[in-house]
Structure 1
Amino acid sequence: MAQKLLLRLFQSVPLKHLSVPLRSPPSSLLSRVSALSCHTVLCRSLPTTAARAAATRTFSTTQVFRDTFNVQDGDDFQDRVLKSQKPVVVDFHAQWCGPCKILGPRLEKMVAKQKGRVLMAKVDIDDHTDLALEYEVSAVPTVLALKNGSVVDKFVGIKDEDQLEAFLKKLVGP
């Protein structure tokens, strides 16, 4: 949420206020930032790749966030979960649910440890009641394991890390 607000703040500032004339940056700075890439409008307007790298810092996400996504609607669920080539863990949760707030980060951490072998979809039952009804979610948190579009395992309630690891190993395999 904070990242979205910060991004909106940057997008609302006119480009002329963000642009700063650059002189040739020191070579030590260039060597430190050479691994960075540039994707913003500000960076594309700068003259050289070296100046771009020296002028900006990219927003990046951790592995947790690349393997985890929020389901936007039914079509998104169809495309990203049911048609996924990888196994998907679906976390049905609610904002008002205390155990969901504990399980969610714990489950994200365990999915990240799988290093891309499994994905995690988060479904807010208040926003997507149709999906909750379709998958017979009667309590939250409910976690489903889907492989090739079919439910292969399920649990309801909070679990510790060892139980989550066993759940994921059963889904992914050895």
Structure 2
Amino acid sequence: MKDLVRQKISINVDIMDLLNQQIKKEAHSSSAYLAMASWCDQNGLNYSAEFFYKQSEEEREHMLKIFKFINDNGGTAYSPEVKSVMHEFNSLQEIFEAALDQEIEITKSIHSIVFKARKVQDLSSEYFLQWFINEQMEEEQKMRRVLELFDLMGTDGIALKLIDERVKDI
């Protein structure tokens, strides 16, 4: 019966499986950003903490958007287990570098799913994922902007506080 149900869904089964993997990646990103927010809170970087709390929430929203898409199209979305979230960091710059790396990996993953959706002619999934492509460009750009501030201002003393204050406007 389970195989029969999988044949009658409107989403391609391979794409559904890839989207379930993407759910795990979005959940991991949400948890990683929460850990980054906590580190910033503990180190008196209030604007950066607020930024990462918001990023964590956005990643959870992305996860839920994919989750609902799968279920709305007759598939089965799976609640992810999150493992191996880093909680210790050496600097705010290291956090933003890790965040950029994370966003780049998410972008690559989304692109890979889009290419697979094209190959199997799952137009609904490809169309759905266009929103994520645009979102990922914005997310990467945010992280790069902050990292540019470190290049311009440095990482010590007052520069760190000024960067933290600028994060609220990014």
Q: If each structure's strand is expressed as a fraction of its own residues, which one has the higher value?
A: 1
Q: TM-score w.r.t. structure 2 length? A: 0.24
Q: If each structure's helix is expressed as a fraction of its own residues, which one has the higher value?
A: 2
Instruction: Look at both structures and tell me which one has the larger radius of gyration over its CA atoms.
Output: 1
Q: TM-score w.r.t. structure 1 length? A: 0.24
